[in-house]
Amino acid sequence: MSRVESPQRTAATEPVLAAGPRPQTVPGFLALFRSELGLTFRRVRSIALLGVLALVPILIGVVVKLETGNMRNGGGGGPAFLAQVTQNGVFLTFTALAVSLPVFLPMTVGVVAGDSVAGEATSGTLRYLLVAPAGRTRLLAAKFTAALTFCFAATLAVALAGLLIGSILFPVGDVALLSGDTIPLADGLLRMALIAVVVALSLSGLVAIGLFVSTLTNSGIAAMATTVGLVIIVQVLDSFPQLHTIQPWLFTHHWLTFADLLRQPMYWDGVLQNLGLQALYVAVFGAAAWARFSSRDITA
């Protein structure tokens, strides 16, 4: 495939194809990673997804503001700290993350991760890229790292939008935790940053699953649909009490344990269990993706 026929990938791989560090070296891998990162965030679809995620806390903030009287009377549903939003706008960030994590964040990440390899195959640029030579293992690692970076960007979009709109619509001050303790605003913002990191890492298992699915097909749409569909299926399985035996092993089961970090002292058991489970998924599906991709006939 000529450079004219694949302008998007040609532009993205210029750092690797140009004279400079080879992909087999650490500087070469970093150049490859920057290439993948640029390709991910230059796509209109990725920017649009981040914009949609930023709208979630705005909508929540407006709804809560309009229903303030109902919230004070104990009405409404949602996360346990939703009622705290009217007392402190910082809690809008926590609420937005809790609402986004089960549905919006994983679907967004599923689209990006599922399209990582299959999208290249669909556009016909995968063979062109491997001529670099980037090396299949390093290319797969770069794609995983770029998708994980998108997880942090997506989480940050929700958190910052929540903090901004919360500061505009509601008072901001010392943070009353779920345990009843009160901490200074600065400490509350540090906990917000910590929770954002935990939420982003909670999606790492999904990234590995999406990457594996992406190596199984040449259709980017099929890979994205399958990854998002798996998220929905697992969420449904996690809702049946009859499946309590397998539920602790589902990658979505411990996602909301970040709420334990809003206590004094912070409870780390559930959070560490969640991160450990995500690491297990990354190891298993990352190895499966490598086994599939390293033996895949790219020329077929």
Task: Give the residue extent of every domain in the chain.
Answer: 44-295
* Whole-number Å distance between alpha carbons of 110 and 135: 24
The predicted model gives 99-119 an average pLDDT of 87
**11-45 per-position pLDDT tens digit:** 444 444 444 455 557 776 787 788 888 888 888 88
Q: Does residue 285 have a pLDDT over 90? A: yes
* Whole-number Å distance between alpha carbons of 141 and 36: 10
* Whole-number Å distance between alpha carbons of 87 and 179: 16
CA atoms within 13 A on the CB side of 213: 25
Q: Does residue 127 have a pLDDT over 80? A: no
Give whole-number Cα distances, 241 to 156, 230, 247, 249, 251, in Å: 33, 19, 9, 14, 16
* Whole-number Å distance between alpha carbons of 45 and 156: 17
Dihedral angle, C-alpha 226, 156, 65, 176, nearest 10 °: 120
The predicted model gives 157-164 an average pLDDT of 94
CB 135 within 8 A of CB 23: yes
* Whole-number Å distance between alpha carbons of 138 and 132: 12
The predicted model gives 63-68 an average pLDDT of 80
Q: What is the pLDDT of residue 9?
A: 52
* Whole-number Å distance between alpha carbons of 116 and 243: 32
* Whole-number Å distance between alpha carbons of 230 and 214: 13
Phi, psi of 176 (to 5 degrees): -85, 120
Going 179 to 183 to 189 to 194, the CA torsion angle's sign is negative
Pairing, β 175-176 against β 182-183: antiparallel
Q: What is the pLDDT of residue 63?
A: 87
Q: What is the pLDDT of residue 181?
A: 86
What percent of the chain clears pLDDT 70, i.e. is strictly above it?
A: 79
Higher pLDDT, 77 or 68: 68
Going 20 to 22 to 28 to 32, the CA torsion angle's sign is positive
- For residue 79, say if its preceding peptide bond is cis, omega within 30 degrees of 0: no
* Whole-number Å distance between alpha carbons of 286 and 289: 5
Q: What is the pLDDT of residue 86?
A: 78
pLDDT winner (highest mean) among 79-88, 220-229, 272-281: 272-281
Mean pLDDT of the chain: 82
Residue 183, SS3? strand
Residue 176, SS3? strand
Q: Does residue 80 have a pLDDT over 70? A: no
* Whole-number Å distance between alpha carbons of 223 and 113: 9
Q: Per the confidence metrics, is the pTM higher than 0.75? A: yes
- Rounded to 10°, the helix 204-214/104-123 angle is 30
Higher pLDDT, 3 or 279: 279
With cut-offs at 50, 70 and 90, classify the pLDDT of residue 117: confident
